[in-house]
Amino acid sequence: MDEMKYSMAEEIKVFRSWSSPFALRIIWALKLKGVEFDTIYEDLTNKSPLLLQYNPIHKKVPVLVHNGKVICESLVILEYIDETWKQNPLLPEDPHQKANARFWAKFGDDKVMQSIGGGVLLKEGKEQEEGFAASMEDLKYLEEEIRGKKFFGGETIGLADIALGWLAHYLDIFEEIVGLKLIDQEKFPSLAAWKQEFTNAPIIRENWPDRDKLVTKFAAMREANLGKGTPK
């Protein structure tokens, strides 16, 4: 009975903003699995009552609503998607390899995003230098992990690729804004190669947000953080 109900009216909604790299993960995962869904774009400066109702604790995107079931936090949503739609798995079967994928996804969010996003993009002077140094350390670890592999997930895109995927598009933009090269081809050849593979992969290459819009947005974010611009 339940099966009939679901195949008749599978309702999948993704709450996202046009620019959020976190929400992009969900778009990628669902599209990679061939799952159809509706998109609701949120203006994060003016959050809808529905978003606040669905994610009262964090009040953020992405949110996935599957047949009325609400799931928040992008990495949690990714695991839910992988467990619900089993085609094109994002995680391997082996527990140790699974743990490894989760480790690197977490490393991306806890460390890489902080050093690059927080430290390099949003800071200047000595603070930016420190952020840059930290990001070099972080990227060094990623370089070692990706060496010899097409994707962090091996032959196919996996959880860690999706979690780190923002590097393949947003990083160029950040580098342009601050005038610094982070993933230097000579310093990080394997990571540079992965960036190319990922950014040009089917599905991924069709879903990047508009580059110019992103430059404008993140440049403004940097200005606002440095206290020079008018915060929104």
Partner 1 sequence: MAADEQVTLLDTWASSIGMRVRIALAEKGVKYEFIEQDLWNKSGLLLQMNPVHKKIPVLVHNGKPVCESLVIAQYIDEVWKDKAPLLPSDPYQRAQSRFWADFVDKKIYEHVRTIMTTKVEDQEAAGKKDFIDTLKLMEGELGDKPYFGGETLGYVDVALLPYCCWFYTYENILNFSLEADCPKLNAYCKRCLQKESVSKSLEDPKKIYDFALKLRKKLGVE
Residues of this chain that interact with partner 1 (CB under 8 A) are 57, 66, 69, 71-73, 75-77, 79-80, 83-84, 95-96, 98-99, 102-103, 106-107, 141
Shortest reach from residue 46's CB to partner 1, in Å: 25
Shortest reach from residue 217's CB to partner 1, in Å: 25
Nearest to 164 by CA among 153, 155, 174: 153
What angle, rounded to 10 degrees, do the helices at 95-107 and 125-146 form? 160
Nearest to 190 by CA among 149, 133, 137, 138: 149
Shortest reach from residue 77's CB to partner 1, in Å: 7
Which residue, 9 or 57, is less far from partner 1 as judged by CB?
Answer: 57
Residues across the chain: 232
Which residue, 160 or 177, is less far from partner 1 as judged by CB?
Answer: 160
Which residue, 79 or 172, is less far from partner 1 as judged by CB?
Answer: 79
Q: Order of strands, edge to edge, in the sheet holding 38-41?
A: 38-41, 12-16, 63-66, 69-72
* Residue 63 near residue 51 (C-beta atoms within 8 A): yes
Distance CA 111, CA 133 (A): 12
Distance CA 98, CA 53 (A): 33
Report the helix count and the strand count for the chain, using DSSP H and E: 10, 4
Which residue, 60 or 169, is less far from partner 1 as judged by CB?
Answer: 60
- Which structure tokens are listed for 182? 């982070």
Shortest reach from residue 206's CB to partner 1, in Å: 27
Which residue, 3 or 206, is less far from partner 1 as judged by CB?
Answer: 3
Shortest reach from residue 177's CB to partner 1, in Å: 28
